[in-house]
Structure 1
């Protein structure tokens, strides 16, 4: 699969994330996920992974592998995302990050309405304070960053502050990012469409992302490269998770009810190849990540180790 923009980020009870990006699909396992509850430490969601969590990050997104189905999230695509608003004296008029319809000297960017929330949940016009270009390192504050107009500084989740990388906003109506000069990237509407970002596609079975990035599900739109967000000592098979990126690369965050041994509401479980004879540990089996006939091209054999319905 082509990878042109390496990003930082992450139905059935399978997936969730607040990818600011972050994403959940149906079971299959995929369900849309953009959106996370504000009391969860989640990632952005993209729209089709699991409604209560999810992708970029990254959550109010449904994604955490909810397709089995999904959602920062940052996941999703654009279904639930997890963001919180906050006011700071800057104009808070609603704006469109794809159109960049703010006054001269300002840019439209995502922010967290309530300080401390994981994921972006609103957009507003803010002063342009930098000129970071696509792929450049950047620094994000609670409601602004030093990327140029039309770009967003993605950290571990869209609502996190600190060091990140500049990613391009996109028009979800276009679906791909060719108009943004990224023909091999996909426009993922993280967090219920509040955070539409260009993301590289990837293969969850081979984990073919560059560097330390992991390949995470964003529901109906497939899988994208994102920055892992698991804590030290966690993120392994059977560990509790709250966002798609809180599992190590190669694992998906899935609802406890479809797993054999899970101490939380969701736990990490391996992605698997439906064509392999016995890739999972009994009583779990390799269950299709997508419902029959709904998988995006190239993802027809992707599954998650879970207990069949």
Structure 2
């Protein structure tokens, strides 16, 4: 049985301080794999029993801001990994630094734990991995997700690199939008403009919007819904409103949105049965 060990930060030993990750140039070409049970098993408490990996009794400070390594290249010294982090406890990544690996780190899809705050980058996952999908912002137990490689692909064929405007870091697992089969905690299986497929994202706080309710993006809607243009959703009071997804072979749409239309006119094989409930 693996034991989760707490991290002992060391001063980053990376040479130089690159300005940031390499520019984004490649398209994502990985495809969804067969059903993978690692995303459906319950999270387990991984007990902490001590400190790890490196010698010494003090904890020198890690770099507090800036890019000191490239997470996509993993260019840190031995026994360290390069991880994105947010300086000053920010809520989005704005740097990358080398942190020491724990003894016996968690692998892809395995339970993990992050220390200090959600974007600290201090976790017990192995190299090229990051702990994500937390129970809550106060309970930072989650699962190890892969980091994007330098060509914006993922080691896991069942995941896709989520490309952000300034950088790409995490490989989010693909999912079935009709089954909403994302791993816990509360996540949504949604389409992203930067990913060719549906990926698992966090559900925002508050009550999600149901069918016919205004929305600004996919994560505003309840599970199993997408944010559709107003002219396709009966009674929509905004520029876009939530519409239920449906199975083309077994449609089950609500009144007023009776037509189950193909989601994509030329879908990949895994989405050939996927439709959207729209106004007839």
Q: What is the TM-score with the length of structure 1 in the denominator?
A: 0.54
Q: Counterpart in 1 of 2:67?
A: 93
Cα distance per residue 1:19-66 (max 9 Å; x no partner) = xxxxxxxxxxxxxxxxxxxxxxxxxxxxxxxxxxxxxxxxxxxxxxxx
Which entry has the higher C-alpha Rg, 1 or 2? 2
Q: Counterpart in 2 of 1:279?
A: 253
Number of aligned residues: 216
Cα distance per residue 1:268-296 (max 9 Å; x no partner) = 32112234567353367434322x22x22
Q: Is 1:149 paired with 2:124? A: no
Q: Is 1:6 paired with 2:39? A: yes
1:48-197 aligned at under 5 Å gives the runs: 89-90=63-64, 92-93=66-67, 95-104=69-78, 106-112=80-86, 117=91, 119-120=92-93, 122-128=94-100, 130=102, 131-134=105-108, 135-139=110-114, 141=117, 142-146=119-123, 147-155=125-133, 163=140, 164-171=142-149, 173=151, 175=153, 177=155, 182=156, 184-192=157-165, 194-197=167-170
Q: CA deviation at 1:202?
A: 2.7
User: Counterparts of 1:174 and 1:116 in 2: how far apart (Å)?
Assistant: 24
Classify the secondary structure of the residue corresponding to 2:113: strand
User: Counterparts of 2:71 and 2:191 in 1: how far apart (Å)?
Assistant: 23
Classify the secondary structure of the residue corresponding to 1:189: strand
User: Counterparts of 2:134 and 2:239 in 1: how far apart (Å)?
Assistant: 22
Q: CA deviation at 1:169?
A: 1.4
* Alpha-carbon spacing, 1:99–1:307, altered in 2? closer, same or farther (3 Å): farther
Unaligned runs of 5+ in 2: 1-32, 41-61
* Alpha-carbon spacing, 1:96–1:305, altered in 2? closer, same or farther (3 Å): farther
Q: CA deviation at 1:201?
A: 3.0
Q: CA deviation at 1:297?
A: 1.7
Contact 2:76 2:82 in 1 (8 A): yes
The more displaced of 133-142 and 226-235 is 226-235
Cα distance per residue 1:216-248 (max 9 Å; x no partner) = 223552223x36514344343244545534433
Q: What is the TM-score with the length of structure 2 in the denominator?
A: 0.58
User: Counterparts of 2:77 and 2:239 in 1: how far apart (Å)?
Assistant: 44
Q: CA RMSD in A?
A: 3.9
Contact 2:249 2:273 in 1 (8 A): yes
Cα distance per residue 1:121-174 (max 9 Å; x no partner) = x441143375443322322523323133311122369xx675232211132637
Unaligned runs of 5+ in 1: 8-87
Classify the secondary structure of the residue corresponding to 1:298: helix
